[in-house]
Amino acid sequence: MMKCKKFVFGLWAICYSQLGVAATQLPDSLLTFEKAYYYNIVDMPKSLQIVQTMRERKMAQSWELDRAEANLWSLDRQYNKALKLYQKVLKNPKAVESWEEELRTLFFITYCYDKLSDERHLSEMGFRMKELAEKYQAATYLSMTEFLRGKRLYAMGRKDEGCSICERAVEAMKRVSYRYKNRMLFIFNANLSNMYLNDGKYQEASKTLSNAEEVLRQGLNMNVLDVERRAYSVVYATKARILAAEGQLAQADSVYALMRSNPYRDIGAEVIVLPYLKMREKYADMLESTKYCRKVVESDNNQIGMNIISILRFEIEAYMGMKDFQKASEDYYTLTKLTDSLHIDNMNYFSNEARANLRREQLVARQNLQLSIGISALIILSLLMLAAFVHHLLARKRTKVMMATIEELMFYRNLFLQNGDKVPVEMEGNEAASHEEKHRFKEMDKRIMKEKLFCSPEFGRDDLMRLMGVDKNAIAPIVQKYAHTNVSGYIKMKRMEYAVTLLKERPELTIAAIADMSGIKSATTLVNHFKETYGITPSDYRASLANSAPPQ
């Protein structure tokens, strides 16, 4: 079915591009957004043709047509294609005149980033969406942002907390009045079921999946032909995994057969079912699924990313199970190149940002020096001693701030350039200290910085104890010995370092937003700690950077 669908779409695209007209003239009755969505799953070329014809006839505003086309690509699991159009919509002033429309577009963008496993941009857009939703008390979108937060906490290893937040988001979504509430409830429950499943909580996974299936039976209310039938693939894939994990292999195989009898394949279901296929040693099916997934992902120009890497790993295991070691080694070589490319891409992103900021700091330093010399010369002519004293104080304060900011910049640059090497930690040179204790502290510090565990307001002494594997009486002396401060001072310094980075790299963020992202409970607390640490308030520091920046 999918091959036929792709063939028809390719044929339609060729006809349209070469002849300048659609292969089949569409009746006026089909030229609506509702009809475009209706045929999305069963006839994607027709849906695109409807939007294109509406675009040619100027039957709607350009941003409305862009978002409609993006929705079509998103439903077709082509998230990169959809994302480009959603971003175009967000930049259109007419599209964001209404906060409801802006929120809707922000949700679509975060949904795409979530599906693409793009954590770098997901957190930024998710926070922007949360701020706008809180401003207008939009309960529907607050529920969505909470569910995303729960998923992120789960991915960070705080699984129980993440699942609990997701559960609350589900309950909040049940209470709202929203046209596509059932669709969101299905997405929430299906995702939560897989979170429980991956955590080995099969009873909770089964219960949550039943909730998703019940919503599906009620209907997703999307007016998209056969959307529920395609969604059942996700239900069957998840159920097969749960049953197999519980040892009910015959029932699992029956459910898997139901999934394969569904004419509409879904990449989400194919990825979910891969561990079941591995468990049942269905390597031929496993290989076919991975090839299908790779084709879908690569057709969306997503050839470097966590999704394709995860799929490749299962494909390697399929080849190994089939004793085709040559193909397995070829895939492993491809996987290595992709992993290196992803690593280099991330490293380049952070190192380029670090170099750009460093160049700016150096230029600012030169400008400040020139300004200081000029001002000093003018003041010395009238009052030499007073000018020298004032200049000394200003230069010392300016040097203190500059040294602190450059030190933090170099810290973060080295962290991402090394990508896993030991994180520099200020140590006591105590020869009697245990080598194992030092090593554990370094590993703990590296993990805290890499995973940004301090970004949670609840991160504290108990978390350090858990990470170090020591009791409450031992943690304080260890932190004092190797970090040269107490426990609260150590955590506060991590948060202040991250706050400095956000102030420099994210000028659009408010002080309250930076406090929230740094794990600090209030903007007032951030201001007090920042001034105590660096001798200047966050606002003054940001203003100094802005005023000292070279003209564009």
Clarify whether residues 366 and 504 are in a common domain: yes
pLDDT digits (tens, 9 = 90+) for 121-136: 888 899 999 999 999 9
Residue given tokens 């969604």 in the structure block: 231
Residue 522 domain flag = yes
Residue 158 domain flag = yes
Residue 346 domain flag = no
Clarify whether residues 260 and 360 are in a common domain: no
pLDDT digits (tens, 9 = 90+) for 159-207: 999 999 999 999 999 999 999 999 999 999 999 999 999 999 999 999 9
State the pLDDT at residue 472.
85
Residue 161 domain flag = yes
Residue 18 domain flag = no
**Contact by Cβ (8 Å): 22, 16:** yes
Clarify whether residues 151 and 254 are in a common domain: no
Clarify whether residues 93 and 166 are in a common domain: no
Round the average pLDDT of the chain to a whole number and report it: 83
**Contact by Cβ (8 Å): 186, 231:** yes
Clarify whether residues 512 and 407 are in a common domain: yes
CATH number for 108: 1.25.40
Is residue 425 pLDDT above 90, yes or no?
no
Residue 59 domain flag = yes
Is residue 345 pLDDT above 90, yes or no?
no
- At 194 the three-state DSSP class reads helix
Clarify whether residues 59 and 192 are in a common domain: no
Is residue 390 pLDDT above 60, yes or no?
yes
State the pLDDT at residue 419.
54
pLDDT range class, residue 445, cuts 50, 70, 90: confident
Clarify whether residues 381 and 414 are in a common domain: yes
Clarify whether residues 92 and 150 are in a common domain: no
Is residue 375 pLDDT above 50, yes or no?
yes
| 390-398: long-range pairs with CB below 8 Å, 24+ | 397/535, 397/536, 398/368, 398/372
Give the chain's domain count: 4
**Contact by Cβ (8 Å): 316, 326:** no
Clarify whether residues 212 and 167 are in a common domain: yes
- Of residues 368 and 234, more confidence is placed in 234
State the pLDDT at residue 225.
86
φ/ψ of residue 30, rounded to 5: -90, -10
pLDDT digits (tens, 9 = 90+) for 259-280: 999 998 999 999 999 999 999 9
Residue 264 domain flag = yes
Q: pTM for this structure?
A: 0.59
State the pLDDT at residue 421.
45
Residue 15 domain flag = no
Clarify whether residues 516 and 543 are in a common domain: yes
Clarify whether residues 456 and 527 are in a common domain: yes
Q: What angle do CA 122, 124, 129 make, to 5 degrees?
A: 90
Q: Which of 280, 302, 321 is the last residue of a domain?
A: 280
State the pLDDT at residue 304.
53
- Of residues 495 and 367, more confidence is placed in 495
What domain range is 536 assigned to? Answer: 352-548
Average pLDDT over residues 466-491: 88
Clarify whether residues 189 and 108 are in a common domain: no
